């Protein structure tokens, strides 16, 4: 194992600024470290387990936050509760999965002074979408999930109701969203570099919300955020 080698697993990764960000973090912390991109197509994912064991740790992004669990030794409590992983620690030959997305989500809401919300529209139900759904269910009573995969969105709603009895969780198609919401969260890649002109929902829906949260950071202001600001 290379104790100073880290990386990001995902596909594709042309949008990622992670090497730049982590190189700066290593410099600030005055610690040695190298950060690489591991852009691995789906048909090769499970052929690269030994490659991961040579790292000290790695981050996980679209589309592997759930699939990666199949090759992990175990999950930390931060990941097991969400069924999704974004960080893996390599220790003594073990691959241990964590989820720090939940902390990032909570911190971002705190920084934006979004102290409370009773209704949320969640766009997407992949790895980060699952995390936000379960985290939001701790804080609000009404969750609407809209995604391209309608069956997956419905299944997530059923999971939420099992964990949080009494919660109002329903699914809608992305093109038929109706109603007003305290918070809209985009957990889809729509609007991500290089397709920066995309917006997952229309202005008519955005105009009826109180706040918008986008999980995309490249570009810093997506078309969704620009529309919400207008």
Annotated catalytic residues are: 65
* Gap between the Cα atoms of 51 and 217, Å rounded: 28
CA distance 113 to 33: 34
Q: Nearest CA to 121 among 129, 111, 113?
A: 129
> How does DSSP classify residue 121?
E
Give yes or no for a contact between 212 and 221, defined as CB atoms under 8 angstroms apart: no
Residue 186 CA to residue 124 CA, distance in Å, equals 7
How far apart, in Å, are the Cα atoms of 6 and each of 16, 22, 128, 132?
Answer: 14, 9, 21, 26
Helices (H), the chain: 18-29, 49-53, 77-80, 101-111, 127-136, 150-163, 203-206, 223-229
CA dist list (Å): 160 to 9, 134, 138, 168, 197: 28, 7, 10, 9, 32
């Amino acid at each position: 194992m290379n104790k100073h080698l880290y990386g990001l697993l995902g596909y594709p990764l042309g949008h990622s600024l992670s090497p730049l960000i982590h190189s700066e973090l290593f410099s600030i912390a005055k610690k040695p470290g190298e950060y690489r991109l591991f852009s691995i197509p789906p048909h090769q994912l499970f052929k690269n387990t030994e490659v991961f064991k040579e790292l000290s740790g790695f981050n996980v992004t679209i589309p592997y936050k759930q699939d990666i669990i199949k090759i992990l030794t175990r999950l930390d409590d931060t990941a097991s509760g969400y069924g999704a992983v974004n960080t893996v620690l390599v220790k003594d030959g073990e691959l241990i999965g964590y989820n720090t997305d939940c902390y990032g989500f909570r911190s971002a809401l705190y920084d934006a002074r979004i102290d409370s919300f009773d209704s949320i529209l969640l766009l997407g139900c992949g790895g980060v979408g699952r995390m936000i759904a379960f985290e939001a269910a701790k804080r609000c009573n009404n969750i609407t999930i809209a995604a391209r995969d309608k069956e997956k969105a419905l299944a997530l709603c059923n999971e939420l109701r099992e964990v949080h009895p009494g919660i109002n969780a329903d699914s809608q198609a992305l093109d038929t969203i109706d109603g007003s919401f305290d918070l809209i969260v985009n957990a889809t890649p729509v609007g991500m570099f290089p397709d920066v002109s995309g917006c997952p929902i229309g202005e008519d829906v955005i105009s009826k919300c109180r706040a918008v949260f986008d999980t995309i950071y490249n570009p810093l202001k997506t078309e969704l955020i620009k529309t919400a600001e207008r």
